Amino acid sequence: MSAPPSAKLPTYFVSHGGGPWPYMKEQYGHTYDKLEASLVDIPRQIGGKPKAVLVVSGHWEEQEFTVSSGAAPVMIYDYGGFPAHTYQVKYPAPGDPELAARVAELLAAAGHTAELDPHRGFDHGTFSMLAPVFPDADVPVVQLSMKHGFNAMTHIEAGRALAPLRDEGVLILGSGLSYHNLRMFGAVGRTPSHEFDAWLNHTLRELPPDERLEALLHWGDAPSARMAHPREDHLVPLFVVLGAAEQEAAACVYHEDEFFGNLAVSSFRFGAPAVADAAPAPQLTAEPEPSAK
């Protein structure tokens, strides 16, 4: 195991794909190749394996911020209709009760109620996303829930409170999707996904920090926002990781214009990578493509 990176770690918002895709290579073929390559590249970008990972999962919502605090998290197969073997997969990364207590402490010091849950396991927004990043499952993992109501400023403030973890060897990953509307997951989703993705890339990568924050607080006014996110659970993790790196530049570390044939999806890094040759931002289409009929 490599030594933990010594510099301040960047944060990431990851479009985590659908269901248990890393365990379905035969079924999906090359569908997830680009996403997988971007995830595999994260350890190189940060200069090695971190001390631990804190995942803000788009699949966990509680009345108050809640932190998984068990030493040996179980698996949560929170999906349906997949092959039988995907309900037997294991991602045996250890938990980190000490880190969980630190997360709760930081949140409480910033005025946020934070609870510990020793029974919470890894949902698929965590284990499917981490399987390509740390395939040996040898990095401790703690999950942080979203807070009910999905208030953008509340989650940005939570990220601000958690920023010190970046200097403590903890990698903060927001796991969601830049486009998440399963009822518009095909040709009908082409235009809304491209419109919202173009806005998101412009907002995160090109606006100065104060303007970026203001735009994200009013994300619902973005083009096709509520078609891209009829319920914003898969967008909210972005607010936390942005808050933890609020003044730092964003880079698009994964982008596809034709995910599942039609959709535009992206992942982002906030803060500088540890290596100068980290993957450059992909070229994006200048304008959304017309809707397929």
Q: pLDDT band at 142, cuts 50/70/90?
A: very high
Three-state secondary structure call for residue 160: helix
* Euclidean distance between CA atoms 80 and 87, whole angstroms: 9
Q: pLDDT band at 288, cuts 50/70/90?
A: very low
Tell me the fold of 11-270: Protocatechuate 4,5-dioxygenase; Chain B (3.40.830)
Per the structure block, which two tokens stand in for 19? 């269901």
Whether residue 293 is predicted with pLDDT greater than 60 in this model: the reply is: no
User: For the segment 62-77, what is each residue's pLDDT rounded down to a tens digit?
Assistant: 999 999 999 999 999 9
Q: What is the pLDDT of residue 209?
A: 96
Q: What is the pLDDT of residue 29?
A: 84
User: For the segment 195-245, what is each residue's pLDDT rounded down to a tens digit?
Assistant: 999 999 999 999 999 999 999 999 999 999 998 898 988 899 999 999 999
Distances in Å between the Cα of 282 and the Cα atoms of 34, 205, 230, 279 are 11, 12, 27, 8
User: For the segment 87-126, what is each residue's pLDDT rounded down to a tens digit?
Assistant: 999 999 999 999 999 999 999 999 999 999 999 999 999 9
Whether residue 160 is predicted with pLDDT greater than 90 in this model: the reply is: yes
Q: What share of the chain is helix, strand, coil (3-state, %, to 5)?
A: 40, 20, 40
Query: Average pLDDT over the chain, rounded to whole?
Result: 90
Whether residue 282 is predicted with pLDDT greater than 70 in this model: the reply is: no
Whether residue 1 is predicted with pLDDT greater than 70 in this model: the reply is: no
Residue with tokens 């880190």: 99
Q: What is the pLDDT of residue 111?
A: 97
Q: What is the pLDDT of residue 181?
A: 78
| pTM exceeding 0.85 | yes
Task: Kindly give, in sequence order, each residue whose CB lies less than 8 Å from that of residue 205, ignoring residues fewer than 6 positions away.
Answer: 249, 250, 251, 252, 268, 281
With 0-12 / 13-18 / 19 or more C-beta atoms within 10 angstroms meaning exposed / middle / buried, residue 72 is exposed
Q: What is the pLDDT of residue 189?
A: 77
Domain segments of the chain: what residues?
11-270
Whether residue 287 is predicted with pLDDT greater than 60 in this model: the reply is: no
Query: Which residue would you say has higher pLDDT here, 228 or 138?
Result: 138
Q: What is the pLDDT of residue 3?
A: 52
Task: Find out whether 240 and 58 touch, Cβ atoms under 8 Å.
Answer: no
Query: Which residue would you say has higher pLDDT here, 30 or 197?
Result: 197
Q: pLDDT band at 186, cuts 50/70/90?
A: confident
Average pLDDT over residues 256-284: 77
